[in-house]
Structure 1
Amino acid sequence: MPVVTDLDSVPLTPVYTIVISAAGEATIEGEPVEPLPGQDGRTSALADIRVRAAQRGHPIRINAKEPDGSVWPLIVDHDGAVTPLAAPHPTPAPTPPPAPVPVVPAPAPVVSAPVAPVAPVAPVAPVVPAPAPVAPPAPAPAPASDWSAPLPPHHAERFGRIVAAELQGDLVGAALAARELEGALDREYGALHPHTVGVLGTRAWLALLLQEDWAAIMRLHLRTAERRHNAQAPVDETRRVLRNARAVWWRLAAVDRAEADEIQPELQRVSDLVAGVLPE
């Protein structure tokens, strides 16, 4: 699908926020999105944004927040075209307040009165004010976490292929595109970089949606959880990945108990590694 080429032509407001929960449900500006028949929450939310774009007559800016906490700035048009951005949406310049109207006071009446002679005044030494206490310098703001930083521009096209494939319902194509992107990020930044680990989590999420091979899905989740732990990623998302791995283990056990028993020690090892994140 075509993408927006003239980004400056897209209004800076509104910017809608889509949040995808760990269960696959979606909200737009905090309001739940009713899933479309046969579609997941993300696709249904983007379909809602396309309708809003059609009503406004121009593409709309959104921030898509994934279950792992990463935020992807996107532009969505009424025809379903999705344009990933390499940087956050620009902030509109504040509107300056109107200049105050000057009030000219009416001139006071002049009253003539006799003036008493003024006695000479002894010169007064100038008063030098005491120096004001110097406040200690404010601490520098903490740098933004790499776990929420957007992908660099030269990887935006690969990420756009993941989004476009998912919008078309091609989860297999989206998973293949995510695997390709993870490989490129691994080669450039290493396996423990936040960008690489984030796309690995996207692969695990897409595999869960496909539901084709529960053993492979579980191993992918365990790899994601261990990689996140080793990279010191935010722990809340690591807990969610491990909870999903435990849920996948039960699905696997229902269809192939022998395979589930074979993987169970690996599940226990990763659970012990990330101590206490999986309640019994």
Structure 2
Amino acid sequence: MPVVTDHDAVPLTPIYTIVIRESGEASVDGHPVDTLPGQDARDAALAHIQEKAARLDRPVRVNAKEPDGSTWPLIVDWDGEVTPLEHPHPAPPALPAARRTLEQPPASVPVHLPSPTGEPVIPGPLPAAPGVDWMAPLPPEYREMLDTVRTADIAGNFPAAEVAAKDLEDALDDAYGASHLYTVNVVAVRANLALRRQAWANSLELHMHAAWLRHDQQAPRDETLRLARNAHFCWKHLVAPCPKHPGTDNPAQAQQRVHDLLHVLRHVDVEPIILATTEEWAAKLLAAAS
């Protein structure tokens, strides 16, 4: 197929972000991209985007960020054809304000967990971000998928709820992109479900990912900080055994993930006590491993 000539015909969302690091590694919307032996990371990232375009059966928009800080707006089609743009992608229109309804994903299911200071982490009412309603319900076409998540959750079947939530996240990622509020809210739902069944490693990853994306999207800060605190909480369960949850600790995995956790905690500017506690425990882990 030829390059895309009618740029305005390409929907404004999703806009995927490719980041190429100085090490040569690449990520798409914050997720590392695996490469085949001898494959260039840029090619692997574009192939990943190509798959997304193929699922949508249309071209998609991409911002490619180079190690020198430059950003290249692109349009990538399902056949791998890349069209460079001379100007940045137009900003998507802001979502209209919407009242919170029963169709909203259960991203704020109360989970009363002890923070490092011993106080419960209880989500409260969230202020609205300017121009974006993070409490907006999902579009009607995703209601059936959301009902599947909710039904399994109410029944206490967390594994089934997690599978259904992942399917919903994938569908929203394809339609809107990984950093869109719809997708990020469902990532937070998945983090909550994993936490409630004490799947600490999985919950840690999901909490970190959701907190990072919310911070970059300037989402209401209270919920972003709650996700970051709960990431810290999950990590501590990997560090040391807990009498209530014996056998769920994994110090080696905690050591592997601590640099990523500290990166997230600093990125969202979490409370100093949480950052200091994480650094202290990380030092103990390093000393025990040496």
TM-score w.r.t. the length of structure 2 is 0.47
Which structure has the larger Rg?
Answer: 1
